[in-house]
Amino acid sequence: MKVLGIDTSSLAASVAVIEDNKLICEYTINTKKTHSQKLMPMIENMLKISDININEIDIIAVCEGPGSFTGLRIGMATAKAISHVNNLPIVSVNSVEILAGNMNLCDKKICAILDAQRTQVYMGQYKFENNELKELKSVDVVEIDELITQLLENDEEWIIVGEAVYKYEDKLKEVSNIYIPAPSHNVNKASSLCTIAVNKYNKNIDIHNCYNVNPMYIRKSQAEVEYDAKMKRLNDGK
């Protein structure tokens, strides 16, 4: 069974194909170039150089978010288009779960974080038990200072993984029970996405088609927040 993974939830864009328990190919670009410019060429080049035809793909794994609103829409639209043309099922996985999946041999508790702008992060907490990723706290958006205080009071050792560790690295390094992994672990990887998706598919969890899979935004976009504030001011002025 071949799985095509697509993750555009963060600054990085990552695509991969796994077959059963074997990684066939993976392509990750962590630059500011827009996902709309790089995603389809990445998929096409990866499949071409790996001698894989899209008709050989059995499942599409897609990151549902949270993360960049624009990035999520691009990744989701691409997954839906490929699914529609090839009549393929789609398995959705959230972005912080994918980051936690990068730490599959870790025996500590894992807190995965992505930048949610301002002073907030998207966060989920996990732990590997018997080689299976277990959710300790579901995905949410929190203030970074509040999160650090919670982890410090917990008095356990934590691995903090994800793109947002670099934004708050100075704060995180001051906390004795928080550890930051190598840079290779702090980027969303489509190979981790595919691995989690296969486990979900085998358990009949989060399986969709091209019509009913949607992004997970968690909160309103900044444009929506500003619009709501504007409408409130207008209504208050009546």
pLDDT (tens place) for every residue of the chain, 238 residues total: 999 999 999 999 999 999 988 999 999 999 877 899 999 999 999 999 999 999 999 999 999 999 999 999 999 999 999 999 999 999 999 999 999 999 998 999 999 999 998 899 999 999 999 989 999 999 999 999 999 999 998 879 999 999 999 999 999 998 999 999 999 999 999 999 999 999 999 999 999 999 999 999 986 554 444 444 555 556 676 5
Q: Per-residue DSSP letters for 78-129? A: HHHHHHHHHT--EEEEEHHHHHHHTTTT--SEEEEEEE-STTEEEEEEEEEE
Residues 173 and 65 in one domain: no
The predicted structure's pLDDT at residue 233: 56
Asked if residue 121 is part of any domain, the answer here is yes
Residue 137: predicted pLDDT: 96
Q: What is the pLDDT of residue 155?
A: 79
Same domain, 87 and 109: no
* Same domain (yes/no): 64, 135: no
ω into residue 66 within 30 of 0, thus cis? yes
Same-domain check for residues 105 and 55: no
Q: For residue 195, tell me if it sits in a domain.
A: yes
Q: What local confidence, expressed as pLDDT, does residue 32 receive?
A: 76
- Residues 180 and 203 occupy one common structural domain: no
pLDDT value, residue 113: 98
Radius of gyration of the chain from its Cα atoms, rounded to whole angstroms: 18
Look up the domain containing 114 and give its range. Answer: 97-185
pLDDT in the model for residue 34: 85
User: For residue 125, which phi and psi values (nearest 5 degrees)?
Assistant: -120, 140
Does 37 share its domain with 118? no
Are residues 81 and 101 both part of a single domain? no
**Statement to judge: residues 88 and 172 lie in one domain:** no
Q: Distance of alpha carbon 6 from its chain centroid, rounded?
A: 10
Give the model's pLDDT for residue 218: 85
Looking at the domain assignment, is residue 152 inside a domain?
A: yes
Which CATH number is 134's domain given? 3.30.420.40
Residues 85 and 196 in one domain: yes
pLDDT given for residue 226 in this prediction: 47
Residue 227 lies in a domain: no
What total number of domains does the chain contain? Answer: 2
Instruction: Report CA torsion sign: 44, 45, 51, 57.
Output: negative
* CA–CA dist 143, 121 (Å, integer): 6
